[in-house]
Structure 1
Amino acid sequence: MTQSYDAIIIGAGHNGLVTAIRLADKGWKVLVLEKSSLPGGASKSYEITEPGFMHDIYAMNIGLFLGSSFYEKYRGELNRYDVEPVISNKPYASVFPDDTGIGAYQNRKEMYKSIAYHSSRDTYAWKELNDYFDKTSPYFMPLMQMELPSVQAGRHAWKVFRQLKMNGVLELGSHILQSPREFVDHWFENDKVKAMIVPWGFHLDFAPDVSNGAVFPFIESILNQRNGMAFSRGGVQRLINAMVGMVRAREGEVRTEAPVSKVLEKNGKAYGVVLENGEEIHADKAVIGNVTPSQMINRFLDKETLPAKYVQKAEKYQYGPGTMMIHLSLDAPLQWKAGEEYAEFAYIHIGPYVDDFARTYTQAMSGTLPDSPMLVVGQPDTIDPERSPAGKSTAWIQVRALPSHVKKDALGNIEPSSWNVIKEQYADRVMDKLSEYAPNAKEVIRNRVVLSPQDLEKDNPNLVGGDSVSGSHHMFQNYMFRPMPGYSRYETPIDQLYMVGAATWPGGGLNGTSGWLLADKLTSK
């Protein structure tokens, strides 16, 4: 007999789990199907280098999640599942070739002191920027937790216009539409202060000269400084496992190693899925894909049954540059030339400067291996001793940005080939760069595991070409245009078939918003 549920969710990423929990709370019978043996999607952790060393494999920062509607409502329940955020009061820093650095401190006086070391004028600029954030964020931040477009968002936009008036709205729009370089040039004078802020754009695909790329550095540089850098104690998998437990506690099901091969639809209406093993499962109310548009049409649907324009838009959905992840188990923490205190920062960005970020992006997008990629060096042990044995350490290195398919090497030292062939060579280049700033890096390595852009996509099909945020966030494909015009409200042309996840508004990051909004939408009908 064919099993039947109210809703089937394809993919146990955090947005899929948020959807399942919210629907189950409303009395829906839910089933989550995950192709991998481990739930979490791009938010998972395990001992990838060696036993005793716990690594967040992809996403590590849970700051957006802590600010989500989901966390606000379910914080107590998550705590009962042993979920505990750990917060670094030294959230991020940048280091430079002259053996100096600049760090963001949660303590306001320390923050001013850090900036003043490089530019006394920029301490005032930082205060002015923070004041401007306080003035404007109550107007633009709520939009990040609303459907776009929607009546609710329209009412909020009208409220913004009434409160800020025409000139205020135009000024805010001008700042948000700036590129990261234009944004920091407007506010700051010192190149190192600028280099502390711009890298936050690179956590998505906002290179220094991408219009509208200022929005993420604006938000993240301030909120991470104020709130501190947040990780999940013991690894982000503990958070994911708690959410799986919450689904099951509500009599929902989560099945791993259960890859879906096809979404069943008839007369323009989705009614279930078929697994790769041939099992057919029905859904009475909704099939929800925590997937990207190109995957939806290429893996799960028959294109012939879809509107031609939808297929065309989905096939043209654009992905950003690739990412490499390097995980290190270490005999001792990294020692930074910039000073002993830099071993205490949660994230270290190494560009070093804005021009370097820009060159890296241009090279990556042209298919060229960058001569000196941007590195995000995560040091989770600074606030979470559970990550490694006493006296040992781990390092989490995100390499941004890289070509998905390599055509040439900027230095001419690596013969273009598939990532499977060249990833260790390129990781050596990364380690050479890291060693320029942390000289003991190579000496203290116990084990190294390299995940290339190709590895990222193999592990998680949403990370096409190694794009760690499941699709470009440039303005043509963001806001009410995400994932594509006409389909920004989590719907598809197929009745009862929906999408959530990083490919939908509000995009990448561990925020849980799309799952929350879709679940509330479905249960309010």
Structure 2
Amino acid sequence: MYDADFIIIGSGHNGLTTALMLAREGYKVLVLERSKLPGGAAKTSEVTIKGFRHDLFATNIGLFLGSPIYKEMGKQLHEKGLEVVIADKPFASAFPDGDVVRVYMDKLKTLNEFARQSLKDAESWKQLLAYFEQVSPYLMSLSQKEMPSWPLVREVYKLYRNVGRDGVLDLVKMLLSTSRQFTESWFESEKIKSLFIPWGFHLDYAPDVAGGAMFPFLEVPLDYKNGMALAKGGISNMINAMVSLLESMGGKVELGRQVEQILLENGRAVGVILGDGQKVYAQHAVIANIHPSQLIEKLVPVEALPSIYVQKARKFQNGPGTMMIHMALDGPLKWNASEDLSQFCYVHICPYTSDVAQTYTDALNQRLPASPMLVIGQQSAVDSSRAPEGKHTLWVQVRALPYRPKSDALDLIHPDTWENIKEQYAERVIDKISHYAPDIKQKILSACTMSPADLVKENPNLVGGDSVGGSHQLQQNYLFRPIPGRSKYDTPIEGLYLVGASTWPGAGLNATSGYLLAKRLLRKNFKRKKQLESVH
């Protein structure tokens, strides 16, 4: 009767992580993916010109390389084709006066960048790095624990023993701070502050949103220490290695298979109904690598769920939308700020804290920002396999935008559907880049603009064009992600679980929710197996 032990809806990296963990233990696993490409928001495609390989959304795999699944299966993934390239010039922030602040893996070069802006800030940078070395091992470990759980409590106790009560309180105070408060407590230069601010905005933490200090505090030193990691040839190569390894273990990944409904029997998830009407059954569980709204609006009848759960799921908040612009270039950009800026993996153009704050206010008020924050990815400078010889790719993430614009901060674009205005707004973005890299318009061979609405078409889990699977602000993070009381990936329906960016610990290629759920399911099924053996 059963087609699989476990059915996984969606082939995002967390779903594949769960699948790998279960398949390794001998379980029959079936992954069903609606798209013709696996990976969810981790896909590579030639969307401009043949031979130019663009990561459509996610690109940085640093968190994946630090994940438990990579530690356990990294060697096998490399045997299946995963190759990693490391940018020793990870990121920089450029400014309209032609200046730039760069972070290198080189200790002296980076320190000199801080010292150019402020000798005091150079000293603060050294102190911040020392503090990071003291507490980051515990913070990184905490982010890989179930929330809540006894392992998490034990890790907090280790932190307490290391830094003491006052140290823990100081750390909690910092992590509850806004990113503006964090930068102002450490640095005096506006440009140095602007080096940190964009990282919080990646996760919907505008400069004045509480809790925004965490990601900048971790990401900047991590990139400085480890560089920025990419999958050679595109992020799809990482996903393809996961799929290949899964299939070698007996698991299956079926593409172009739309799940229309989750089958329920006596209040338990027992399988799925596909778009062609076919029913596929799971003996142990159905795991959905999806956004909570997809569950309650599409896959499960509302009446099958407790009303309080439905109410909370409907209140799940998405962050503002994102636009992606992919370009095939005739050569590297020539940046005003410095000759070597074309070699950096990321260049942030905010440019200042106040600009990011204004962009966020505009987006929340459904106004097209006059000057949005830009994340410029120059992956082909690090990985030459992504473009023909002498050519380059450009990956531009535009943060943040309203999903349904009602006005324009410059009163130049008449509010309309994104399909009708996306190219106009893309021109605004390219114009902004041209102030920093004047030759960009001459270098563009072809471009592909993906509006917030296009993100949803490509991947329904990017609800509202939010590229990070839902806001990570404090009221919807940690214990409260995705729904208070459901932070361990379970749902009110027995045998139905959620993983992915909408669950703890959130967005980024961290592979954590998939790993933690798999460990939980393996413990549960091991206990069940022992019980059955004792009966017989």
User: Which TM-score bucket, shorter chain as reference?
Assistant: over 0.9
Question: Is 1:203 matched up with 2:199?
Answer: no
**Secondary structure at the residue paired with 1:117?**
helix
Quote the Cα distance in structure 2 between the aligned partners of 1:100 and 1:138: 34
- Paired with 1:157 and 1:67, the residues of 2 have a C-alpha distance of 20
The 5-angstrom pairing of residues 180-329 of structure 1 reads 180-329=179-328
Shift of 1:161: 2.6
Query: What are the residue-to-residue correspondences of 1:464-503 with 2, within 5 Å?
Result: 464-503=463-502
Q: Partners in 2 of 1:70 and 1:439 — Cα distance?
A: 43
Amino acid at match of 1:480: L
> What does residue range 73-222 of structure 1 map to in structure 2 within 5 Å?
73-222=72-221
Counterpart position of 2:456: 457
Gaps of 5+ in 1: none
Deviation at 1:153, TM superposition (A): 1.1
Aligned to 2:12: 13
Give the TM-score normalised by the residue count of structure 1. 0.99
**Is the contact between residue 323 and residue 401 of structure 2 (CA under 8 Å) also seen in structure 1?**
yes
| 1:495 positional shift | 0.4
The CA distance in 2 between the partners of 1:3 and 1:458, in whole Å, is: 32
Partner of 1:399: 398
Amino acid across the alignment from 2:48:
T
How many residues are paired up? 524
Residues 183 and 193, structure 2, Cα contact 8 Å, conserved in 1: yes
Partner of 2:508: 509
* Matches for 1:335-414 after TM superposition, within 5 Å: 335-414=334-413
The percent of aligned pairs where both chains have the same amino acid is 52
Q: How far apart, CA to CA, are the structure 1 residues paired with 2:136 and 2:63?
A: 15
Give SS of 1:241's match.
Answer: helix
- The one-letter code sitting in structure 1 at the alignment partner of 2:218 is I
TM-superposition CA deviations, 1:112-135 (whole Å, max 9, x none): 011111111111101111111111
Q: Distance in 2 between matches of 1:516 and 1:353?
A: 38
DSSP-derived class of the 2:3 partner = strand
Q: Is the Cα contact below 8 Å between 2:135 and 2:159 reproduced in 1? A: no
State the partner residue of 1:434: 433
Q: Tell me what 1:30 maps to.
A: 29
- 1:169-216 CA distance string (max 9 Å, x none): 110011111100000000000011111111111111111111001101
- Give structure 2 stretches of 5+ with no counterpart: 525-536
Shift of 1:299: 1.1
Matches of 2:70 and 2:476, distance apart in 1: 27
Normalised by the size of structure 2, how large is the TM-score? 0.97
- Runs (4+) of structure 1 exceeding 4 A deviation are none
CA deviation after TM superposition for structure 1 residue 278, in Å: 0.3
Equivalent residue number for residue 532 of structure 2: none
Q: Determine helix, strand or coil for the equivalent of 1:51.
A: coil
Partner-residue secondary structure (3-state), 1:189 = coil
Deviations 1:44-86 (A, max 9, x none): 0011101010100100000000111111111111111221110
CA-based RMSD: 0.8
Question: In 2, distance between residues paired with 1:199 and 1:73?
Answer: 32
**What's the offset of the Cα at 1:165?**
2.0
* Residues 390-423 of structure 1, C-alpha deviations (whole Å, 9 max, x = no match): 1111100000000111010000000001111100
State the AA in 2 paired with 1:264. Answer: L
Alpha-carbon shift at residue 157 of structure 1 (Å): 2.0
Measured after TM superposition, the shift of residue 382 of structure 1 is: 1.3
- AA matched with 1:4: D
Match of 2:531 in 1: none
SS at 1:75 equivalent: helix
Secondary structure of the residue aligned to 2:440 is coil
Q: Secondary structure at the match of 2:447?
A: strand
Shift of 1:167: 0.7
